[in-house]
Amino acid sequence: MDSQRLLCATDGSPPSEKAVAYTVSLAAELRRPITFLLVADGELETVPAVWDEARVKAEDLPPDKELLAALKSALQHKLLSVRLVRAYGNDPAEAIVSYAERNGYRHIIVGSEGRTGAKRMLLGSVAEDVVTRAHCPVTVVR
C-alpha cells in the first residue's frame, strides 16, 4: 500500500518537469516517498516495469530519459525514497489513474500547459482527464 507515497506523472515535457519540481519540493517538506510514473504505449493490462529503491540504489536504472531526469531532480534534493515506474496504456490518464488505484496512492501530481479555448478542445488535456477520473486528490501544476 502506497498511501503516503506521492505519485507524479511525467513525460519529459516542460509542464511535467514543473510537476516533478513541485513533487520533489513537496516530498522534501512532508518527508514523503515519491513514485515517478511514465506512461508508454501498450496495453493497459501489461504489468508495469518498476524500479524500486533497491534497484535504484544498485544503479539498475530504466532507459527512459524522462524517469532518469525525475530521479536526478530527487537525488539533487537528497531524496532517497524514490520509485520509478513505466506503466502502459493508450490513454495516459486512464493508465495513471489505474496505476494509482491498484497501488493505493492517495495523491496524484500532474503537469498542465494550461491551454484554453479552441486549442484545449482540439488537443484535450491529460491533466483534466486525470482530475475527472481519479479516486483521490490531484494537484495540477502549471
The per-residue pLDDT for range 62-107, each reduced to its tens digit, is 999 999 999 999 999 999 999 999 999 999 999 999 999 999 999 9
Using pLDDT thresholds of 50, 70 and 90, give the confidence band for residue 122: very low
pLDDT: which is higher, 108 or 2:
108
pLDDT per position as a tens digit, 46-63: 999 999 999 999 999 999
From the CB of residue 63, how many other CB atoms can be counted at a distance below 10 Å? 8
Residue range 15-37: average pLDDT?
Answer: 96
Measure the CA–CA gap between 23 and 18, rounded to whole angstroms. 9
Runs of H (alpha helix) within the chain: 14-30, 53-57, 65-76, 92-102, 117-123, 126-133
Is-contact 106 138, C-beta < 8 A? no
Using pLDDT thresholds of 50, 70 and 90, give the confidence band for residue 2: low
Nearest CA to 60 out of 79, 42, 83, 35 is that of 83
Measure the CA–CA gap between 97 and 133, rounded to whole angstroms. 7
Residue in this structure with the C-alpha cell 539498475, named with its chain if needed:
60
pLDDT, residue 60, reads 96
**Burial of residue 44, with CB atoms counted within 10 A of its CB: 0-12 exposed, 13-18 middle, 19 or more buried:** middle
pTM, rounded to two decimals: 0.92
Q: What is the CA radius of gyration of the chain?
A: 14
